[in-house]
Amino acid sequence: MTPSAPPVAVPMTAPVTTPPVAPSTLWEPEIIAFCCNYCAYAAADLAGSKRMQYPVNVRIIHAPCTGKIEMEHILDAFLKGIDGILVAGCLEGGCHFLEGNLRARKRTDRIREMLAEIGVGDERLKMVNLSAAMAPTFVESVQQMVDTVKALGPSPLKESEPREESQHLESEG
């Protein structure tokens, strides 16, 4: 065995620079997926058990039933800067709470109309119906939602700069 040579220090004559990256390539949409307990959440859980991959920027919110997701929950998420929302419920006619997913469909349709009216874009909200065994469909739906929202860009409701109140509080502190 021959001894290895000690590492040689190389002086840096110029700073290392990285090529500029366009801001749009750094942006990743923030997506919420409201999932009902019995079907959609079970499908998401099955996808995880099968080690199926879906984007990490999707946050799953476990709901007892999509029928319990009120319009205020969805609108509040958009007002707080969420870029897209996926509502995932039981198959139509297969809701464990009888008609919860039908109520959720009506609500999401109304909210989509509102989002289109105010210029946010109705594509930012989507509802899908799944069974507990539909893990691949869940993953595909999530990926489609992310791709759709990426094409739309950041939500126009997202604050680009902090409010004056928060700037004032920072200067006092």
Residue 4 has pLDDT above 70, yes or no: no
* Two tokens, residue 5: 């040579």
Q: Report the CATH number that the domain containing residue 129 is assigned in CATH.
A: 3.40.50.960
In a domain? residue 139: yes
Q: Which domain holds residue 58?
A: 28-151
Distance CA 170, CA 150 (A): 32
pLDDT value of residue 43? 97
In a domain? residue 118: yes
In a domain? residue 170: no
In a domain? residue 8: no
Average pLDDT, the chain: 85
For residue 158, name the pLDDT band (cuts at 50, 70, 90). Answer: confident
In a domain? residue 161: no
In a domain? residue 135: yes
Q: pTM for the full model? A: 0.77
Share of the chain above pLDDT 90, in %: 73
Calculate helix-pair angle for 100-117, 71-79, nearest 10 degrees.
Answer: 40
- Write the pLDDT tens digit of every residue in 15-51: 444 344 344 568 999 999 999 999 999 999 999 999 9
- The number of C-alpha atoms within 13 Å of 20 and in the hemisphere containing its C-beta is 3
Closest by CA to 141, choosing from 131, 156, 155, is 131
For residue 6, name the pLDDT band (cuts at 50, 70, 90). Answer: low
How many structural domains are present in the chain?
Answer: 1
pLDDT value of residue 25? 63
Residue 149 has pLDDT above 90, yes or no: yes
pLDDT value of residue 162? 47
DSSP readout, the chain? Answer: -PPPPPPPP----S--------HHHH----EEEEEETTTHHHHHHHHHHTT----TTEEEEEES-GGG--HHHHHHHHHTT--EEEEEEEPTT--TTSSHHHHHHHHHHHHHHHHHHTTS-GGGEEEEEE-TT-HHHHHHHHHHHHHHHHHH-S-TTS-SS--HHHHHHHHH-
pLDDT value of residue 131? 96
- Write the pLDDT tens digit of every residue in 117-148: 999 999 999 999 999 999 999 999 999 999 99
pLDDT value of residue 2? 53
In a domain? residue 95: yes
